[in-house]
């Protein structure tokens, strides 16, 4: 009898212990003013240092339930559009808890008698956590549409090119639940599944060279599957963006696949170009290229196949195979070259280019969660890049061939990237992290242009880094340092280099009274030359110019300081930024005379600097119908070369307006040229306008877009200010003006999906390793 009692007590203890590891938190959310229930309120459980644990939304009766919660101390935040966020401290949680009714107070201001409400957003030293509203989700067909509706500062959604961009040529990294993904996978997200977007506008060292990280936190049920389509097809031109995806879950395993194809076929592409040459014999030639409509044809294919296996709170293994294929059989220009001093002196010109690029990659990832809030991550990525390109450039007069250039490039590049990361959560919200990263690549390229050049290059980059994040009262701070070693060698050349650099990083974030804050960020980083710039080969451009690589290039440092101010009050949101960047010994373009030819190349120049000022204003939503944002700013560039000095200032502006009513939505977007100046070259941005009308019925979204409806001369401009060979070039694509596009998005799911773990790092090699040619 005693033995039986002992067994019963032990068994009871085991059962109690087992259930203690899976606690529940439940409650109900109401409007404090009228006691009405609040549907779709966001409920997020975080650790004391604001790390995400679990999240959900309230149901039709205002109830919520969080389960499978471990013992510990947490903060529960409850938010809803137009209400003040409520924070509840759950210190020492050790059993199931019912919070009863949670009342949210209004957070609204009045503007000329119109009541407006604020969006749910919290700001931290390294990121902003933004919760989409029901209105925004209803007006969106996929995750990229939702991002545009949210109108985040410094983020541009370019629907014409189906791309998420950062203002100022910044690098954007996208993730889903912490896992690095491709941008086409963001279009595979059902907006109603997105809980929030973690917008890292000050990413930590473990994110590599990313300027902005967008992490979509989505709901992850346990079993079942989902499938979907997102299609956009030009009506009056061959322009398309088509995506299909699917995911199946069983127990601890998840299988997923997605495919994207982007066809383009235009017959109205042309180039106008004015060049001025000052040759060694004292001759000055001002030549004008008058373009004629030509063909541009491009097919983009992206395939992702993924398998993951996870034991919650223990480990996660993820394997992803990616395949990228860009086939561009035609990128053609033709026209007439005219001597400006003698308009009767003309020659016919053709400039025909074609290329094919493919890059299979295998990404293996393993994450281990250890005791005492510690995590280990290992990641290995192997990539093969194959590039093939051809270019035919000819000048002729009266059917007599005067210039004949035939360039063929065949490149193979192999790379492997390995990384290991350690993270430790400390008391009081402090965090320590460190890691090792190694990138090694081998490139074998063949250049045929009357001569046969072959290059074999090896490039390595290794780094070790550590970062500490802490808090003192209202001041959050982050201190980090990276020690980097970079090396390069090219067979047959004596221009090998090896360099060690130390790059510190500092961030200070201070919360001001009200909902405002100020942040100071200062970074240093090592910049290495590309393999294409290092190639010791010549490429003929036309009858007067040759492009030449420079194996003597050296890596250089980049110093960046940024001051950011943020203010939020109900309807209004303001984000102001000022930044300064300094790059001594920067690699920039240059040209010089060699006999009767002009050589285009790259060199380590004196320095390059830029000053940036920008302001983002967002207003709304008004009556849950209207929201708009305006972004504007100035870029001032100072380019100091070994033989030149240039100054350039660019003013730019973006705008977005969103209107929703019942199941209808209307969106207007404007992007003006953000121009980039470095060396002696100004690269112009795109000037795009778009209008989109959409209608939603359950999980089906149909719409109609029109791009550049008010112009018939869409173009991009490029300038070079060299003393020997300057140019002003305009590229046109007629089909990009008044382009009508029909869209449809549909998501289908069954059962419940498995909740995959959070992958903490990403690595990729997108450098083909070859030198490009052409104008």
pLDDT in tens, 655-674: 999 999 989 999 999 998 88
Contact of 434 with 421, CB cutoff 8 Å: yes
Most confident of the following: 76-90, 150-164, 329-343: 329-343
Alpha helix segments (H runs only) across 363-465: none
Residue 494 confidence (pLDDT) above 80: no
Among candidate residues 563, 464, 445, 456, the one with its CA nearest the CA of residue 206: 464
pLDDT of 414-436, one tens digit each? 999 999 999 998 887 789 999 99
Look at the chain and count its residues. 775
pLDDT at 13: 47
Task: State how far the Cα of 347 lies from the Cα of 277, in Å rounded to an integer.
Answer: 17
Among candidate residues 26, 29, 175, 25, the one with its CA nearest the CA of residue 760: 175
Residue 44 confidence (pLDDT) above 50: yes
Q: What SS3 class is residue 375?
A: strand
Mean pLDDT of 538-542: 90
pLDDT at 667: 95
pLDDT at 5: 52
Mean pLDDT of 345-361: 96
Among candidate residues 679, 766, 737, the one with its CA nearest the CA of residue 413: 766
Q: How confident is the model at residue 450 (pLDDT cuts 50, 70, 90)?
A: confident
Q: Up-side HSE of residue 470: CA atoms within 13 Å toward CB? A: 6
pLDDT of 451-465, one tens digit each? 788 889 899 999 999
- How many percent of the chain have pLDDT more than 70? 91
Query: 666 forms bridges with which residues in the sheet?
Result: 659, 693
pLDDT of 356-405, one tens digit each? 999 999 999 999 999 988 999 999 999 999 999 999 999 999 889 999 99
Residue 650 confidence (pLDDT) above 90: yes
**Domain map (residue ranges) of the chain:** 22-106, 227-750
For residue 677, count other CB atoms closer than 10 A to its CB. Answer: 23
Residue 10 confidence (pLDDT) above 60: no
Longest Cα–Cα distance of the chain, Å, equals: 116
Cα separation values, 528 from 53, 80, 335, 600, 686, Å: 39, 46, 38, 20, 28
Cα separation values, 583 from 147, 461, 587, Å: 33, 20, 9
pLDDT top residue among 198 and 41: 198
Mean pLDDT of 486-503: 85
Phi/psi region, residue 138 (left: phi>0; alpha: psi -120 to 50; beta: rest), is alpha
Average pLDDT, the chain: 87
Q: Indicate yes or no: pTM above 0.85.
A: no
Q: Which of these ranges, 33-42, 150-159, 561-570, has the smallest mean pLDDT?
A: 33-42
Q: How confident is the model at residue 676 (pLDDT cuts 50, 70, 90)?
A: very high
Task: State how far the Cα of 579 lies from the Cα of 560, in Å rounded to an integer.
Answer: 7
Topology of the domain covering 22-106: Immunoglobulin-like (2.60.40)
pLDDT of 211-263, one tens digit each? 899 999 887 667 888 898 999 999 999 999 999 999 888 888 889 999 999 99
Residues contacting residue 13 through CB under 8 Å, at least 6 positions apart: none
Q: What is the CA radius of gyration of the chain?
A: 28
Residue 41, judged by CB atoms within 10 A of its CB (0-12, 13-18, 19+), counts as buried
pLDDT at 119: 45
Residues contacting residue 681 through CB under 8 Å, at least 6 positions apart: 589, 718, 719, 720, 721
For residue 168, count other CB atoms closer than 10 A to its CB. Answer: 18
Q: How confident is the model at residue 619 (pLDDT cuts 50, 70, 90)?
A: very high
CA 36 from chain center: how many Å?
41
Domain 227-750 CATH class label: mainly beta
Task: State how far the Cα of 426 lies from the Cα of 373, in Å rounded to an integer.
Answer: 8
Q: Which residue has the tokens 């003929």?
A: 540
Most confident of the following: 110-124, 291-305, 698-712: 291-305
Tokens coding 166 = 């950062």
pLDDT at 41: 82
Residue 344 confidence (pLDDT) above 80: yes
Tokens coding 353 = 């280019």
pLDDT at 19: 42
pLDDT at 21: 57
For residue 534, count other CB atoms closer than 10 A to its CB. Answer: 27
Q: What phi and psi values does residue 51 have, to the nearest 5 degrees?
A: -80, 140
Residue 753 confidence (pLDDT) above 90: no
Among candidate residues 286, 720, 335, the one with its CA nearest the CA of residue 544: 286
Peptide bond into 190 cis (omega under 30): no
Q: Going by DSSP bridges, is the β-strand pair 607-622/626-640 parallel, antiparallel, or unpaired?
A: antiparallel
């Amino acid at each position: 009898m005693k033995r039986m009692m002992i067994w019963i007590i032990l068994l009871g203890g085991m059962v109690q212990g087992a259930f203690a590891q899976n606690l529940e938190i439940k409650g109900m959310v109401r409007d404090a003013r009228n006691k009405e229930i609040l549907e779709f309120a966001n409920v997020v459980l975080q650790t004391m240092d604001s790390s995400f644990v679990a999240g959900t939304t309230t149901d039709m009766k205002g109830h919520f339930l969080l389960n499978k919660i471990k013992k510990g101390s947490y903060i529960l935040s409850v938010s809803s559009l137009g209400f003040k966020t409520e924070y509840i401290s759950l210190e020492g949680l050790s059993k199931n808890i019912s919070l009863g009714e949670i009342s949210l107070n209004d957070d609204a201001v009045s503007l000329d008698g119109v009541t407006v409400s604020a969006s749910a957003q919290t700001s931290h030293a390294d990121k902003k956590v933004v919760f989409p509203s029901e209105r925004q989700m209803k007006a969106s067909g996929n995750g990229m549409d939702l991002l545009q509706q949210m109108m985040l500062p410094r983020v541009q959604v370019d629907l014409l090119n189906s791309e998420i961009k950062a203002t100022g040529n910044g690098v954007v990294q996208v993730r889903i639940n912490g896992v690095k993904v491709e941008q086409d996978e963001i279009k595979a997200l059902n907006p109603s599944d997105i809980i929030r977007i973690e917008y890292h506008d000050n990413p930590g060292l473990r994110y590599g060279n990313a300027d902005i990280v967008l992490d979509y936190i989505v709901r992850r049920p346990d079993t079942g599957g989902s499938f979907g389509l997102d299609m956009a097809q030009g009506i009056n031109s061959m322009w398309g963006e088509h995506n299909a995806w699917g995911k199946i879950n069983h127990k601890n395993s998840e299988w997923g696949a997605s495919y994207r194809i982007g066809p383009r076929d235009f017959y109205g592409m042309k180039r106008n170009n004015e060049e001025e040459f000052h040759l060694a014999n004292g001759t000055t030639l001002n030549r004008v290229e008058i373009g004629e409509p030509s063909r541009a044809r491009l097919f983009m294919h992206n395939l992702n196949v993924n398998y993951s296996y996870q034991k919650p709170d223990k480990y996660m293994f993820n394997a992803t195979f990616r395949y990228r294929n860009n086939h561009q059989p035609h990128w053609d220009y033709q026209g007439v070259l005219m001597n400006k001093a003698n308009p009767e002196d003309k020659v016919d010109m053709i400039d025909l280019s074609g290329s094919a690029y493919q890059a299979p990659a295998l990404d293996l990832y393993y994450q281990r969660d250890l005791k005492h809030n510690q995590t280990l991550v290992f990641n290995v990525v192997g990539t093969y890049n194959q590039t093939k390109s051809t270019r035919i450039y000819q000048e002729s007069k009266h059917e007599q061939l005067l210039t004949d250039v035939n360039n063929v490039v065949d490149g193979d590049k192999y790379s492997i990237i390995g990384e290991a990361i350690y993270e430790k959560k400390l008391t009081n919200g402090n965090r320590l992290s460190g890691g090792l990263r190694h990138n090694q690549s081998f490139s074998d390229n063949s250049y045929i242009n009357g001569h046969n050049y072959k290059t074999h290059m090896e490039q390595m980059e290794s780094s070790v880094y550590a970062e500490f994040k802490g808090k003192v009262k209202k001041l959050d701070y982050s201190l980090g340092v990276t020690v980097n070693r970079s090396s390069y060698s090219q067979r047959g050349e004596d221009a090998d280099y090896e360099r060690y650099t130390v790059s510190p990083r500092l961030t200070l974030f201070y919360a001001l009274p009200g909902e405002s804050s100020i942040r100071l960020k200062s970074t240093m980083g090592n910049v290495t030359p590309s393999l294409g710039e290092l190639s010791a080969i010549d490429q003929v451009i036309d009858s007067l110019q040759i492009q030449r690589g420079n194996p003597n290039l050296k890596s250089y440092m980049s110093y960046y300081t940024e001051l950011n101010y943020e203010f939020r009050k109900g309807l209004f949101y303001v984000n102001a930024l000022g930044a300064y960047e300094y790059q001594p010994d920067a690699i920039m373009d240059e040209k010089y005379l060699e006999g009767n030819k002009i050589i285009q190349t790259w060199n380590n120049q004196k320095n390059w600097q830029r000053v940036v000022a920008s302001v983002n204003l967002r207003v709304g939503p008004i009556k849950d119908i209207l929201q708009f944002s305006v972004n504007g700013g100035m870029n001032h560039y100072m380019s100091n070369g070994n033989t030149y000095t240039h100054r350039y200032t660019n003013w730019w502006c973006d705008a977005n307006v969103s209107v929703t009513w019942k199941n209808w939505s209307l969106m207007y977007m404007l992007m003006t040229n953000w121009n980039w100046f470095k060396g002696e070259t100004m690269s112009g941005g795109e000037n795009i306008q778009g209008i989109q009308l959409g209608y939603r019925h359950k999980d089906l979204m149909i719409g109609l877009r029109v791009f550049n409806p008010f112009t018939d001369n869409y173009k991009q401009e490029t300038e070079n200010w060299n003393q020997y060979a300057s140019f002003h070039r305009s590229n046109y694509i007629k089909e990009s003006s008044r382009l009508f596009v029909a869209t449809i998005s549909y998501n289908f799911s069954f059962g419940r999906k498995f909740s995959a773990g959070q992958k903490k790092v990403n690595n990729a090699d997108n450098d083909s390793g070859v030198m490009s040619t052409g104008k």
